[in-house]
Structure 1
């Protein structure tokens, strides 16, 4: 289940002079968008998300917009589909994707949802090809057009990376069961939580060496910058006592400085700085420096 702090998100709104104001809020857990209208000029989307969080679990799926009073109660609801702000997302056909040798596909209806790990990420399982328990994997997908480009590039980069002992393995490309369109991908599931989620483990010098090595390999051998090295993107595979890096949605080719979303290299997000800040954060449990924008993060502050 997605935690309450990450459950709601708003990308757009309508704030006419004098009001009323409307924010279009995404409920990541229910994978739906609901418009929240309030009197006056409300330029803070957090007010709308707070109101929605109180009512979302009781709202039927055919409700697309709610009108909220100053006290946070629902004045009226709207079921007209013209009020639905959800936009159609393009999913490419499988033949538009060149699969590297050895990368397989799986249909969405073969996946059994086990848990919602976060926005656009579910824990799922599918039958193992040999006798034994079903294989657990993480299914990453998108249903907002704003994330289409980033998701597509992450999938294409991750599945082409050589297998590495300190990178969570790419698993399969996921296609829909109707037309065979590409809707996402899966990667191996590593239990135990990230370094941000699970602080009970003593961080080992061995893991730091492994993190430095995988960053060196990405940067110097493959020409790839992860650009989001942080405790939230580091797992520990306890079966082999190894750090595991995942989540390549900000990764980019180091020699590419174009401004296409999810592709351009940004020196302010360089991986060396990421390793240093991550080490400091893991040891001290102080993440105040990392909460600053990347361009304001200064190693000399440590």
Structure 2
């Protein structure tokens, strides 16, 4: 389950006329990382003021009561629900899978031998140039790493069905939780493994990285 404070993410407000006009039609794309794909929240500029992200609060009220088929909701100027839509045309995303976190799904598939594989699927839900480049760099780096006992192995590149565009990649799924779980005791041998791996990546392969998080 995704932490409550991390569950929703808004891409911001999209105005179809000047935002100063309170009657301007407005749409906000909100991601529910826990159980739904992206949901469009529709209303007017009177409710959806620039950069206030009230659409997150609005969707949070209804999310647990909506069918997973819902792709858009419409609210009045008081934020009250006036309509829902299950029209697939409202949905710009291809993913309807169990969520491990933002942009990471747990899924299974059958390989060429008919064996079921459980994998983590990492994708870039925000179609922004910088994010796309970061995802592409990560994919290429991960698949180029030499085999290592404590590096989760790269699995496959995932392509879109229609245009065969790269939309993400999979790695083998390792069960057991993460270090983010404070109820799991932290063992010093894990710290040793982590520091040795960082040295391997930095000193032997010359790989630079940002923060290391659970």
Say which SS state the counterpart of residue 148 (structure 2) adopts.
coil
Equivalent in the alignment of 2:123: 141
Equivalent in the alignment of 2:49: 42
**Cα pair 1:51 1:68 within 8 Å, conserved:** no
Matched, 1:67 2:75: yes
Match of 1:31 among 30, 33, 37: 37
Shift of 1:64: 3.7
Shift of 1:11: 1.9
Partner Cα separation in structure 1 for residue 118 and residue 86 of structure 2:
38
Partner Cα separation in structure 2 for residue 179 and residue 26 of structure 1:
24
The TM-score, its normalising length taken from structure 2, stands at 0.75
Partner Cα separation in structure 1 for residue 140 and residue 199 of structure 2:
21
Equivalent in the alignment of 2:186: 203
Say which SS state the counterpart of residue 153 (structure 1) adopts.
helix
**Cα pair 1:142 1:151 within 8 Å, conserved:** yes
1:101-143: per-residue Cα shift (whole Å, max 9, x none)? xxxxxxx9xxxx5x32122211112236668x62211011234
Residues 77 and 138 (structure 1), Cα distance of their counterparts in 2 relative to 1, 3 Å cut: closer
Equivalent in the alignment of 1:247: none
Unaligned stretches of 5+ residues in structure 1: 90-107, 233-302
Unaligned stretches of 5+ residues in structure 2: none
Match of 2:20 among 17, 20, 24: 17
Cα RMSD (Å) of the superposition?
Answer: 3.6
Residues 211 and 60 (structure 1), Cα distance of their counterparts in 2 relative to 1, 3 Å cut: closer
Say which SS state the counterpart of residue 212 (structure 1) adopts.
helix
Shift of 1:225: 1.9
Partner Cα separation in structure 2 for residue 80 and residue 187 of structure 1:
32
Show the 5 A alignment for 1:263-302.
none
The TM-score, its normalising length taken from structure 1, stands at 0.56
Equivalent in the alignment of 1:215: 198
Q: How many residues align?
A: 204
Say which SS state the counterpart of residue 35 (structure 1) adopts.
strand
Partner Cα separation in structure 1 for residue 108 and residue 88 of structure 2:
34
1:163-203: per-residue Cα shift (whole Å, max 9, x none)? 2222221111122445543221110111111100x223322
Residues 81 and 140 (structure 1), Cα distance of their counterparts in 2 relative to 1, 3 Å cut: closer
Shift of 1:30: 2.5
Say which SS state the counterpart of residue 145 (structure 1) adopts.
coil
Show the 5 A alignment for 1:169-180.
169-180=153-164
Greater Cα shift, 118-127 or 1-10: 1-10
Say which SS state the counterpart of residue 184 (structure 2) adopts.
coil
Say which SS state the counterpart of residue 144 (structure 2) adopts.
coil
Show the 5 A alignment for 1:47-196.
47-56=54-63, 57-58=65-66, 61=69, 64-70=72-78, 72-75=79-82, 86=92, 115-127=98-110, 134-146=116-128, 147-196=131-180
Partner Cα separation in structure 2 for residue 220 and residue 160 of structure 1:
16
